A and B are shown apart, each in its own frame.
Chain A
Amino acid sequence: MLYARLIASRLVKAVIVLFLIIIFNFVLIQLAPGDPAAILAGEAGATDEEFLNQLRERFGLDQPMYVQLWHYVSGIATLDFGFSYRQQMPVLDLILARLPATLLLTGTAFVLSLGLGILAGSLAAARVKKPSGSLIMALALLFYATPLFWVALMAVVLFSVYLEWLPAYGMLTVGAGHTGLALALDVGKHLILPATTLALFFMAIYTRMTRASMIEASQQDYVKTARAKGLSNGVIQRRHILRNALLPIITLAGLQAGQMVGGAILTETVFAWPGIGRLMFEALQQRDYNLLLGIFFFSAALVILFNIVTDLVYRLADPRIKEAP
């Protein structure tokens, strides 16, 4: 009951945010220099007068502003994101076809970065002022400061070009015709480089955050109480310090979802991973702005969904907020 109400209120909020994003997109098209129809069609489409007229009619571009807005909003509300002239496919179909690849990549990277980040962060917190702890933090700082796309390129040079261990491009070996387990293994092999490079940056963030949060938690009074009980250090670290330290990490993980989308755009571009990030890059190159805005809206929706999930997880983890949602 409590959760139903909570989810309901979060969904209402999500719908409002999505509505605002639609309006934001609309305003952006209006503000952009040049003919809105040309923008929607993209540069290449501008030559095709017939298509432009089609667009003008669809969005009511010759009508007053509020009518245009209405056309735009009602279109998206019915999941009609328009047509990509360059790709000769509806935008929605394009996005949905590419979505699984992106979810696989970001999901793997998320689990990898969170797990390893928390592990490394706890180790560093337990070894403050020891060389091993400092080394972990130095590495975390290094990965935090490294441009993601550059790490990806260097990984290609090292592991694909020179060592020839892993494939550099795509999601599967084209023409190999793998099925079943062989297919899964093939995809897994292709996944290693993109997922790892995407995870590195976020792992660095989680490592730094976990360490800071654990050090903060270890100074709390209840840790002294736990020591006064005669509990062993390991139990205190796991049960008292880590559990309390994880709460802010959950919040952070929610906030990082948006960053993850940004990271995916870069990684997918470098590794030619057929997800919506790569699709966004293609849309950029072809100046297919309607597709670009569609992807933007879709990625925002994904992030909001993820935020709702982390919000619920937080509530499960912290008994204090169960009372008043």
Chain B
Amino acid sequence: MTETVLSIRDLTLALPKGADRAFAVEHVSYDVSEGEILCVVGESGSGKSMAANAVMGLLPKGVHATGGEIWFGGQNLLTLDERAHRSLRGLRIGMIFQEPMTALNPLMRVGAQIAEVFEAHGRHTPKERQARALALLEEVGIPQPERAIRAYPFQLSGGQRQRVMIAMALALEPELLIADEPTTALDVTTQAQILKLIRDLQQRRGMAVMFITHDFGVVAEVATRVCVMREGEIVELGEAREVLDHPRHDYTRALIDAIPNDAVPNRHHAAEAQPLLEVRHLDKVFRSRGGMLKPSREVHALDDISFTLSRGETLGIVGESGSGKSTLGRCVVRLERPDSGQLLLDGVDFTTLKGETLRRGRRRVQMIFQDPYASLNPRTRVGLAIAQGPIANGVPRDQALAKADELLELVGLGGVADRFPHEFSGGQRQRIGIARALALEPELIVADEAVSALDVSIQAQILELLERLQQTFSLSLLFITHDLRVAAQICDRLIVMQHGRIVEHGTAEAIFRTPRAAYTRELLEAIPGRDAVLASA
């Protein structure tokens, strides 16, 4: 019989006045037991992290408990004073966070930051602390721990920093580990490694883990039990297998269905003799300009890239951060200028256009951006934002604004042209961005991580919209993404990139069924929940 480590009973946390709802979480109850991983799943704004913050005594300013209990080690944490609560943090409850890049103090060496945990609880001599820190770094699998212990955080990669965070959280062998979206900011292959590390450590030490995530793939990968949250309430709580295979609640089912599944796509688009876009031997090197006495550095972002794209076809460019996929997209729309190579649009070279000719030529290739909060000018009404393109290209203002109305209708947002961007949700802004891209009646649209910043349920809607519009206007789509699952859902063909080079190129089906490059296989295997989902299919 395993012991219950943490027991949350009927917890209600109030948000400050003026928030969009009164309570962050309402009447929430769940337990976390020794040796299990409880996944708390929800979309943004579901309140999934709030209970964890209450457990740590680290609630944001203005949020406070108005009811319920949190039992841990025979104490109700909600009634503890700050001093007593502090003595639990780091010692009996460890926590890791989402952003490894900012979660470590930039001015302190890694070893000192780990040693601080012992210092905070008065353990060991300074010398022993360093020895322990080294052992911990070894345990979490950091390469060259003797060097890493003397490193500053900026000298480590994101994955390595997250390992340091885990080492700190586990330093005093806590009974409970809280992991708040610990892999969300990482590349998919790094994510797979960190998930494995957490699972291994949990099994070796038999701790209880509370794992907060938005990703059902991750849930399938690590969870013993699952707690699904929406708008501050629990909608479903149960064994992981049970919830994943037989979700009882509609919302859970919708979330699971919204994950692009791995049923391998069977879309295929016949290649044409004369492709719309032909990319030949594209090269791009970024040089950090050296100063008077400073050497310059080079990054080969694009290395001999060639491919073609037909009319009405969707081509996916897949890769991790630093693969050069975004640079490729930016070169195609000519936000960047390639160093050499050609971009032929209907046989006309787009790379050599300059000044006024480039400005007029831009009409044919448009882009949909990643961040719905940054892609619209906060001071421009959305109707005008859409009409600006046609106006700049000589369409009379009235006519352009009327067209903007039609386009908003088309993307499912009729009659909102005179509102400002802040009145819309992320998904709605992305629709406005799509309408803006369509306003110039382009032939090719580059979508750069166009759904990455959205919740899964919204993601599915936007992908559907894109697909419908593509068919209506027989658009060509260059779909750039880090997420193979999303790519599989919408693309006819895929290109896999790594370090600025194309490592594999083929139909989506072929890449999923018979990946040839080792890197592609690695990427496919790293997709969280893949084994689990396939097993159930």
- Chain A positions within 8 Å of B, measured between CB atoms, are 5, 8-9, 12, 220-222, 224-232, 235, 239-240, 243-244, 317-320, 324-325
Contacts and interface: CB of A to CB of B under 8 A. Distances in A.
B518 interface: no
Given A9-B291, A229-B168, A324-B294, A240 B105 contact: yes
Contact of B106 (A5, A9, A320): A320
Nearest to A244: B107
A325 B117 contact: no
B106 A225 contact: no
Contacts of B99: 221
Interface stretch (B86-94, B194-202, B360-368): B86-94
B97 interface: yes
B399 interface: no
Contacts of B293: 5, 8-9, 325
A222 B56 CA distance: 15
Interface string B67-91: 0000000000000000000111111
B108 to A, nearest CB: 8
Given A226-B116, A319-B107, 12 more contacts: A9-B291, A221-B97, A224-B58, A225-B97, A225-B103, A225-B165, A228-B90, A230-B88, A244-B107, A318-B106, A318-B107, A319-B152
Interface in B83-142: 86-91, 94-95, 97, 99, 102-108, 116-117, 119-121
Interface in B290-342: 291-294
B286 interface: no
B473 interface: no
Interface residues of B, number: 33
B477 to A, nearest CB: 36
B287 to A, nearest CB: 14
19 contacts: A5-B293, A8-B293, A222-B103, A222-B104, A222-B105, A222-B106, A224-B58, A224-B103, A225-B97, A228-B97, A229-B89, A230-B90, A231-B90, A243-B107, A244-B107, A318-B106, A319-B154, A325-B291, A325-B294
A226 B56 CA distance: 12
A287 B94 CA distance: 72
Contacts of B117: 229-230
8 residue pairs, one from A and one from B, having the closest CB atoms: A230-B90, A230-B89, A229-B90, A221-B102, A228-B95, A222-B105, A230-B120, A231-B120
A224 B100 CA distance: 12
A226 B168 CA distance: 10
A229 B93 CA distance: 9
A230 B121 contact: yes
B177 to A, nearest CB: 11
Nearest to A220: B102
Nearest to B118: A229
Contacts of A226: 105, 116
Contacts of B121: 230
A220 B107 CA distance: 13
A232 B103 contact: no
B118 to A, nearest CB: 9
Contacts of A12: 292
A130 B74 CA distance: 35
A225 B108 CA distance: 13
Question: Which of the listed residues A230, A231, A240 has the most CB atoms from chain B within 10 Å of its own CB?
Answer: A230
Nearest to B95: A228
B341 to A, nearest CB: 30
Question: Which of the listed residues A8, A12, A231, A232 has the most CB atoms from chain B within 10 Å of its own CB?
Answer: A231
Contacts of A243: 105, 107
Contacts of B120: 229-232, 235
Contacts of A228: 56, 58, 89-90, 94-95, 97, 169
Contacts of B292: 9, 12
Contacts of B119: 231
B168 A244 contact: no
Nearest to A319: B152
Contact of A227 (B89, B107, B169, B291): B89
A244 B94 contact: no
Nearest to B53: A224
A232 B107 contact: no
Contacts of A5: 293
B235 to A, nearest CB: 28
A222 B294 CA distance: 31
A221 B103 contact: yes
Nearest to A12: B292
A224 B57 CA distance: 11
Contacts of A320: 106, 152, 154
Nearest to B82: A233
A244 B152 contact: no
A8 to B, nearest CB: 7
Contacts of B104: 222, 225
A12 B291 CA distance: 13
A221 B90 CA distance: 16
A240 B108 CA distance: 9
Nearest to B83: A232
B87 to A, nearest CB: 6
A267 B261 CA distance: 75
Nearest to B178: A228
B333 to A, nearest CB: 31
B209 to A, nearest CB: 15
Nearest to B292: A9
A101 to B, nearest CB: 37
Contact of A232 (B86, B102, B105, B154): B86
Nearest to A235: B120
Question: Which of the listed residues B97, B120, B152 has the most CB atoms from chain A within 10 Å of its own CB?
Answer: B120
Question: Which of the listed residues A221, A235, A243 has the most CB atoms from chain B within 10 Å of its own CB?
Answer: A221
A320 B292 CA distance: 20
B424 to A, nearest CB: 27
Nearest to B152: A319
A243 B292 CA distance: 31
A222 B58 contact: no
B105 A244 contact: yes
B185 to A, nearest CB: 11
Question: Which of the listed residues B58, B86, B169 has the most CB atoms from chain A within 10 Å of its own CB?
Answer: B86
A5 B294 CA distance: 10
Contacts of B105: 222, 225-226, 239-240, 243-244
Nearest to B169: A228
A8 B263 CA distance: 64
A93 B4 CA distance: 83
B97 A244 contact: no
A319 B112 CA distance: 14
B92 to A, nearest CB: 9
Nearest to B99: A221
B91 A230 contact: yes
A11 B292 CA distance: 12
B103 to A, nearest CB: 5
Contacts of B165: 225
Nearest to B61: A219
Contact of A231 (B95, B116, B294): B116
Nearest to A325: B294
Interface in B132-172: 152, 154, 165, 168-169
A239 B108 CA distance: 9
A224 B102 CA distance: 10
A248 B506 CA distance: 51
A244 B121 CA distance: 24
Contacts of A244: 105-107
A232 B86 CA distance: 7
Contact of B97 (A224, A231, A235): A224
Contacts of A9: 291-293
B114 to A, nearest CB: 9
Given A222-B106, A225-B103, A230 B87 contact: yes
Nearest to B86: A230
